[in-house]
Amino acid sequence: MTSWRIEEQDTQPLPPLNRFQRYLDTYHLTWLQVARAAGVRVMRGWSIAHGRAVTREHASQVRQGLWRLTGVPYFEVIDVFY
């Protein structure tokens, strides 16, 4: 007999929000770690992970922070506004 109780059902992790979040997951980073390394507010990381545009300056700072933390450049698109 199959149980239909939710707590007994198999679950799967949610897919990453986008390539930025996948990069963070790959290197076990949080938005807070990236923000500190980049010298930006934590919400900039949240914004990028959720496809929200940030300034060119913040995008550049986040890329530099990621490189400092991982040694691997982040070449994916970060949406910016003008």
The tally of domains found in the chain comes to 1
42 in any annotated domain: yes
Decide: 34 and 62 in contact? Cβ < 8 Å: yes
Which domain covers residue 31, as residue numbers? 17-70
Q: What is the pLDDT of residues 1-38, one digit of tens each?
A: 566 777 777 777 666 568 898 899 999 999 999 999 99
9 in any annotated domain: no
Q: Report pTM.
A: 0.77
75 in any annotated domain: no
Does residue 68 carry a pLDDT above 90? yes
With a CB cutoff of 8 Å and minimum separation 6, the contacts of 71 are: none
